[in-house]
Chains A and B, each alone.
Chain A
Amino acid sequence: AQKVTQAQTEISVVEKEDVTLDCVYETRDTTYYLFWYKQPPSGELVFLIRRNSFDEQNEISGRYSWNFQKSTSSFNFTITASQVVDSAVYFCALSASNNAGNMLTFGGGTRLMVKP
């Protein structure tokens, strides 16, 4: 069985602060993929990043960075110098490689509110 836990249900920061969203996962598969999606108030889920289980290299994309640590089964997401437009619900998700159809197991989501 697979499970994704996002312990932070809601985070509130002031603009320009850095913020880290936590994600912890459980799976028995040795090959799997981890994802982050952003869901703004408009409702659409926007794909942010995919990481496979063999690639523990951290990634930075502009103000976004991701820290993948297999030893702690975590895939945390940091936004540097947050902006009001970052306000959204963020979902971490897991897909095992033996899934036909790339089934996603979602975490419960973290609502990020960035105040001006």
Chain B
Amino acid sequence: DAMVIQNPRYQVTQFGKPVTLSCSQTLNHNVMYWYQQKSSQAPKLLFHYYDKDFNNEADTPDNFQSRRPNTSFCFLDIRSPGLGDAAMYLCATSSGSKILGEQFFGPGTRLTVL
């Protein structure tokens, strides 16, 4: 089945130690998104790629970076995680079509910062 895959599902890191979360998709969608979701809150968009074009949300901290080496893969790098960065990180994809529109989400990576 075509899907959005996130690895690892659970990640533990130490305060200030860089961490990378990965996302891959078999849907061949040209748009990929990264969201941060804290407990009891809605997902918050960090950034997205439309093909190779990177789009950062205005309030996304500089501590968060992203890479998309090809259509299938997208990475979220947190350069110096703080305790406040502990959250669920969701990757999503969409076709970019204005007609279709829905985003397909991966299972998420739950990040713990010690």
Which A residues fall within an 8 A CB radius of B? 33, 35, 37, 42-47, 50, 91, 95, 97-104, 106-109, 111
Q: Are the C-beta atoms of A45 and B105 separated by less than 8 Å?
A: yes
Is B8 in contact with chain A by the CB < 8 A criterion? no
| Known contacts A97-B98, A109-B42; A44 and B107 CB within 8 A of each other | yes
B31 at the interface (CB under 8 A from A): yes
Tell me the count of chain B residues lying within 8 A, CB to CB, of chain A: 27
Q: Which residue of A lies closest to B105 (CB)?
A: A45
Of the listed stretches B19-27, B77-85, B88-96, name the one at the interface; the rest are far from the partner chain. B88-96
Q: Give the residues in chain B near A35, CB-CB below 8 Å.
A: 101-102
The A-contacting residues of B in range 60-110, CB under 8 angstroms, are 88, 90, 92, 94, 96-98, 100-108, 110
Name B's A-contacting residues (CB within 8 A).
31, 33, 40-43, 45, 48, 50, 55, 88, 90, 92, 94, 96-98, 100-108, 110
| C-alpha spacing A95/B98, complex, angstroms | 9
A103 to B31, CA, bound (A): 10
